[in-house]
């Protein structure tokens, strides 16, 4: 194996990414080295590409970016005994500390020292990735590399959707981006009665209907109250999954929920947003903020669901060589796509 690799990196504090030659990372005794096969482009990667205010405050330069991946283990640290060479893996991109109360209690996803690969640490848009063996997630035969490469965002969807009991419930999903669409699919898979997904992007709504048995609603042309009546729902939705990061969508969700409704929030509105807290209080709404995945309960749940028939493959609309990464990012930014998977095997 050569000691050089191709990688996509933020090389300067400006928009874009560059394909560079970089050293293959050296691993420590508790790490594995992963030969990357496929990577997904994430909304976070778009923020880094655009070099917006959040990225400028958060991302060190230079940095190899990317955090959605699947590949195979090609080297093991001397302390790693539960993984094998050639094993196919994806992995948890949140690198946790070991000293906080949350981490020591096993609530790893709540560790305040968390750092992200491709955001704070060298990432997966590369031929090789160093990862703590603790973070590696073996892939069963039923989960191929392109699905393995989108387990990170699927995990966000699963974590959000499973925040509340959905069996027999009526669920409203706001935001038909890839994670919102996958959350809607999960809701149906686990037994929700009606699942309605809203957006103003006709392409994304059409994709949602292809991926899952859901009711797509363009809120620019349809009224949610009419949808509630059409579906013969007496009081409104029981559970809301807010994936859009749009304040107006959250306001619509609050209005459309039953008394005592529950909302899981994954979307992040830009800046500070005005909230009518009286509507939250007087409707006795429960709000839960969702960040990342529960480590590792969410991984177990989503892999089990994939093995048991959950099918989200159609959310992948574009498959490209990494050499075409610029086209991939432009397509993602256009809003006319689902997930985009980059192939590293031909580099």
Is 81 one of the annotated active-site residues of the chain?
A: no
CATH C-level class of 4-150+312-343 = alpha beta
Query: pLDDT of 188-198, one tens digit each?
Result: 999 999 999 99
In contact, 128 and 24? CB cutoff 8 Å: yes
Is 196 in contact with 168 (CB distance < 8 Å)? no
Q: What is the pLDDT of residues 54-106, one digit of tens each?
A: 999 999 999 999 999 999 999 999 999 999 999 999 999 999 999 999 999 99
State percent of the chain over pLDDT 90: 94
Q: Is 114 left (phi over 0), alpha (psi -120 to 50) or beta?
A: beta
Annotated catalytic residue 286: no
Tokens 């959250």 found at: 250
**What was the pLDDT predicted at 1?**
62
pLDDT band at 270 (very low <50, low <70, confident <90, very high): confident
pTM of the full predicted structure?
A: 0.95
Q: List, by residue range, all CATH 3.90.180.10 domains of the chain.
A: 4-150+312-343
Which residue, among 156, 149, 151, has the nearest Cα to 241 in the 3D structure?
Answer: 156
Contact 314, 288 (CB under 8 A): no
Given CATH 3.30.2350.10, say whether it is the number of domain 157-289.
no
**Catalytic: which of 37, 39, 44, 194?**
44
- The ranges of the chain annotated as CATH 3.40.50.720 are 157-289
- The pair of structure tokens assigned to 86 is 């050639």
- The pLDDT tens digits for 147-160 are 999 999 999 999 99
């Amino acid at each position: 194996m050569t000691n050089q690799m191709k990688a996509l990196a933020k090389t300067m504090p400006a928009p874009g990414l560059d394909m560079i030659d970089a050293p293959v990372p050296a691993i420590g005794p508790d790490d594995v080295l992963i030969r990357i096969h496929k990577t997904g482009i994430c909304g976070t990667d778009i923020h880094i590409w655009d070099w917006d205010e959040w990225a400028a405050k958060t991302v060190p330069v230079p940095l190899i970016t990317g955090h959605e991946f699947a590949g195979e283990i090609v080297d093991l640290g001397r302390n790693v005994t539960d993984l094998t060479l050639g094993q196919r893996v994806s992995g948890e991109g949140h690198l946790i500390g070991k000293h906080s109360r949350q981490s020591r209690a096993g609530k790893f996803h709540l560790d305040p020292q968390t750092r992200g690969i491709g955001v704070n640490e060298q990432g997966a848009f590369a031929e090789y990735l160093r990862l703590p063996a603790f973070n590696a997630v073996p892939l069963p035969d039923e989960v191929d590399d392109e699905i393995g490469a989108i387990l990170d965002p699927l995990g966000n969807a699963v974590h959000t959707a499973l925040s509340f009991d959905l069996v027999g419930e009526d669920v409203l999903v706001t935001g038909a981006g890839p994670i919102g669409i996958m959350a809607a699919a999960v809701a149906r898979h686990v037994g929700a009665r009606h699942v309605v997904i809203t957006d103003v992007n006709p392409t994304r709504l059409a994709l949602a209907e292809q991926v899952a048995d859901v009711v797509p609603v363009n809120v620019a042309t349809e009224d949610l109250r009419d949808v509630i009546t059409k579906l013969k729902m007496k009081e409104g939705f029981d559970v809301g999954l807010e994936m859009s990061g749009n304040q107006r969508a959250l306001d619509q969700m609050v209005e459309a929920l039953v008394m005592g409704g529950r909302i899981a929030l994954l979307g992040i509105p830009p800046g500070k947003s005005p909230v009518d807290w009286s509507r939250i209080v007087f409707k006795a709404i429960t709000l839960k903020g969702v960040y990342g995945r529960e480590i590792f309960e969410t991984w177990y749940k989503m892999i089990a669901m994939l093995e048991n028939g959950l099918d989200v493959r159609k959310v992948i609309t574009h498959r490209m060589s990494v050499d075409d990464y610029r086209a991939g990012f432009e397509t993602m930014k256009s809003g006319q796509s689902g997930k985009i998977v980059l192939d590293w095997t031909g580099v």
